[in-house]
Amino acid sequence: MILCENLVKIYKTNELEVVALQGLDLSVEQGELMAIIGNSGSGKSTLLNMLGGLDRPSAGKLFVDGKDLLKFTERELTRYKKETVGFVWQNKARNLIPYLTARENVEIPILLQGSRKRLRALELLDAVGLYHRRNNRLEQLSGGEQQRVAIAIALANQPKLLLADEPTGSVDTKTASQIMELFNRLNREMGLTIVIVTHDQQLARQVNRVVAIRDGRTSSELIRRKTYADELAELERETAVTSDDSHEEYAVMDSAGRIQLPSAYLEALGLSGKNKVKVMLEDGRMILTAPNEE
């Protein structure tokens, strides 16, 4: 569904040049539910904007659903945003119109597509568990319910790819877990490809694959040892593993053989701030050590 190769994004002003992405590589399979984590300024939101067609890369390759986004005309890009991708934002005001009911909010993108199937709005509200609140205005809904309406709106154009930028950032922990459960269910029942950007690593562990971005590059991936559904089943039998054991972490290596080493490891070896490391091949293992100061 998604293929990024050596993706670069540079923002330029008259006096300043900021490199937001520095050769990022990423692939996402069709029907996958995955999360992207990273510190503020790491480039994760920039990546999401480019996947959604809201921004264009400066260099590299970017394919979504087999389409080369770098070759899109403005008309093709507009069509892509209307037909292929759906967005859920942390700031619900970007999805919702406050003086309309939940049903009317979901009907708007359906009507803008020229469709008369307004009953689909009720189907979507039912899918996110809000059919009983369909005639309530937004001020009558809780923060979590409003975010569920926003998710229904993002699904209104029947997207192949759902992008969520910090979708749980403005709700409490319990509601955040419920929203993540909803994403898992939508992915499972609709086969929808979902990419979630979050700073909350505990929430990220509720998906099978987590990609960490650091300094504009993919630095590591956490792959779930067992599927989330299997862990929930084990939890019911009171045999679930702890969250710390749920994923196995791998460093990401690009086509040139470059990897980002965890800062904690560099500090442990006294390599922080240095630009050289000794590499040895021994017994089928690659060993990194601090260079001989002499």
Distance between CA atoms of 227 and 206, rounded to whole angstroms? 9
For 35-82, the pLDDT digits (tens) are 999 888 888 989 999 999 999 999 999 999 999 999 999 999 999 998
Residues found in the chain: 294
Residue boundaries of the structural domains of the chain: 2-84+159-260, 266-294
Q: Helices 102-112 and 143-154: crossing angle, nearest 10°?
A: 20
**pLDDT reported for residue 133:** 92
Q: Confidence class of residue 240 from pLDDT cuts 50, 70 and 90? A: very low
What CA–CA distance (Å, rounded) separates 49 from 26? 15
> pLDDT category, 174, cuts 50, 70, 90?
confident
- Dmax over Cα atoms in the chain, in whole Å? 77
Architecture in CATH of 2-84+159-260: 3-Layer(aba) Sandwich (3.40)
CA–CA separation, 34 and 196 (whole Å):
6
pLDDT category at 6 given cuts 50, 70, 90 is very high
**Predicted confidence band of residue 130 (pLDDT cuts 50, 70, 90):** very high
Q: Report the percentage of the chain scoring pLDDT > 90.
A: 39
pLDDT of amino acid 294? 47
What is the average pLDDT score of the chain? Answer: 85
Instruction: Identify the residue with better confidence: 229 or 13.
Output: 13
Give the strand pairing for 2-12 and 217-224: unpaired
Whole-angstrom distance, CA of residue 251 vs CA of residue 222: 9
pTM here is 0.83
Phi, psi of 236 (to 5 degrees): -65, -30
What is the DSSP code (8-state) at residue 292?
P
* Position 1 confidence tier, pLDDT thresholds 50, 70, 90: very high
Nearest CA to 188 among 230, 234, 147? 230
SS3 call for 68: strand
User: Are residues 291 and 277 in contact, defined by beta-carbon separation less than 8 angstroms?
Assistant: yes
pLDDT bin (cut points 50, 70, 90) of residue 242 is very low
Higher pLDDT, 241 or 16: 16
Residues 14-27: tens digit of each pLDDT: 888 888 998 899 99
User: What is the spatial distance between Cα 146 and Cα 138, in angstroms, rounded to a whole number?
Assistant: 7
The torsion region of residue 37 among left (phi > 0), alpha (psi -120 to 50) and beta comes to beta
Structure-derived torsion over alpha carbons of residues 147, 149, 155, 156, reported in degrees to the nearest 10: -150
